Amino acid sequence: MIAIWGIVNVTPDSFSDGGAHFDPEAAIAHGRRLSADGATVLDVGGESTRPGSEPVGADEEIRRVEAVIAALAADGAVVSVDTYRAATAATAIAAGARIVNDVSGGLADPGILDVVAASDVEYAIGHWRGPSADMYAKAQYERIAREVAAELRERAEAALSAGIPAERIILDPGVGFAKAGQQNWELLRDLGEVTALGYRVLVGTSRKRFLETALGEAPSRERRDLATAVTSVLAARAGAHAVRVHDARATRDALAVAAAWEGVA
């Protein structure tokens, strides 16, 4: 079955949970709930990537995530660190993280490639065209899925050149990053352009703004979670290896129902 990455935001300004887990103890408890609800990876982030968000710097990011990662890893969870900074990645790996989830794919801080290469962790490469503050200005595409796949291929080649083996690379088409409204749906419809590259693919649609184009203006969190669960099933059918979600239980249940429908044990 497709892997479920549960989101643990250790931030005061996340677009989806607004600091509910900013306290380390609250973040650790939330991670444990996600594991109990079916998350197979816990993705811990210390900086919001919502549109217009401001960077916090490596020292603050590390302060937010280090203890949370260490505690969850000590529980036996597979922990990912959501960062684009080499210093944060190195600290997170030392604390027990097994995956570095870099939304910039090494473009924001090229040194992160060397950090990952020197370890044995996996590396998730996000499609990125610049910081959150101005990313929508770069949402210009002719054939979005084809262009996203080509840009991800370039970043995968950079990772390979840095010494990261192909089997440790995961590609994320970056739904919502430098993509507006219907562009995200077009990208998801043609996800095969990305899966055809031969790497595992991670899809993150959870609670994102583009879901409003299907649900109507300002849907509740519960409706966004339901929509996310549906996209998780569709992503699995399109060949995704993993989905990144806020509500692990809803996605786990949706995937289980789809598997029963298809007669998959």
Annotated active-site residue 208? The verdict is yes
Give the strand pairing for 242-245 and 3-9.
parallel
Distance CA 125, CA 158 (A): 11
Q: How many CA atoms lie within 13 A of 31 on its CB side?
A: 31
Strand partners, 202: 242
Distance CA 208, CA 225 (A): 10
Task: Name, in order, each residue with C-beta under 8 angstroms of 117's C-beta and a sequence gap of 6 or more.
Answer: 159, 162, 163, 164
| Active-site choice (129, 244, 249, 252) | 244
Q: Which helix (H) or strand (E) holds 250?
A: helix 248-261
- What residue type is 70 in one-letter code? A
Beta carbons of 100 and 116 less than 8 angstroms apart: yes
Strand partners, 170: 124, 200
| Active-site choice (208, 224, 249, 252) | 208
Task: Name, in order, each residue with C-beta under 8 angstroms of 75's C-beta and a sequence gap of 6 or more.
Answer: 32, 35
- Strands (DSSP E) contained in 143-226 are 169-172, 200-203
Annotated active-site residue 85? The verdict is no
Catalytic residues: 208, 244
